[in-house]
Amino acid sequence: MIFHQDIHRFLIENEEIQKEWASKEYDGIYATQYRVMFVKGGTFNKKFIEVSYNHIPSIEFSKIRPKERLIGAIICFVLSIFTLYISNFFYPLSFYRGFGRPIYGIEIPAFLILLGIGLLIWFIIGVNKYIIYINGRKPITVSKELNELIIFVREKINS
């Protein structure tokens, strides 16, 4: 894992960290006079991305809709239909259906359908994010709370 004290070994001569941030996506975001570095630690997914200001053509503020929410909604709908189907054909499994006899006060397919509707609404609402486009690689997405980072990068691009 790369910590703040280790970041100095990646700096070139006369390069200094001018600003630093932390976000949900990255453990540390460091801006120098030449580039911005995104550091993500972890056991399985370590990342160190450095981007020169010359390689950032544009920054976009956009609404992102995470596909995991849509997949979760689809799984809930499929499971609710599957439990109704199975419970109609196999009498020993009819207690899974939940209709007529609530289990712990919640009918299982109704609960799955409501959960699926909630995930679908959450998918439609989305999340506001900044997308930093970089020449030659995939864009980097950062949360809207990092407005100061975006202002700093724009100033460096325009200077």
Distance separating alpha carbons of residues 35 and 153, to the nearest angstrom: 9
Cα 6 to Cα 39, 68, 145: the distances in Å are 11, 34, 25
- The sign of the CA dihedral 106, 108, 109, 113 is positive
- Return the minimum-mean-pLDDT range out of 39-53, 57-71, 87-101, 112-126: 87-101
pLDDT at 24: 81
Distance separating alpha carbons of residues 129 and 113, to the nearest angstrom: 29
> Which CATH fold would you assign to the domain 4-64+126-158?
PH-domain like (2.30.29)
Residue 22 CB: number of other CB atoms within 10 A?
Answer: 11
Segment 136-151 mean pLDDT? 86
Residue 141 has pLDDT above 90, yes or no: no
With bands split at pLDDT 50, 70 and 90, how would you rate the model's confidence at 43?
confident
Distance separating alpha carbons of residues 12 and 95, to the nearest angstrom: 67
What is the longest distance spanned by two Cα atoms in the chain? 76
- Please name every residue paired with 62 in a beta bridge, in sequence order, or none if there are none: 129
pLDDT at 1: 44
User: How buried is 5 (Cβ within 10 angstroms: 0-12 exposed, 13-18 middle, 19+ buried)?
Assistant: exposed
With bands split at pLDDT 50, 70 and 90, how would you rate the model's confidence at 108?
low
With bands split at pLDDT 50, 70 and 90, how would you rate the model's confidence at 69?
very high
Distance separating alpha carbons of residues 30 and 149, to the nearest angstrom: 9
Residue 80 has pLDDT above 90, yes or no: no
Task: List the domain boundaries for the chain.
Answer: 4-64+126-158, 67-125
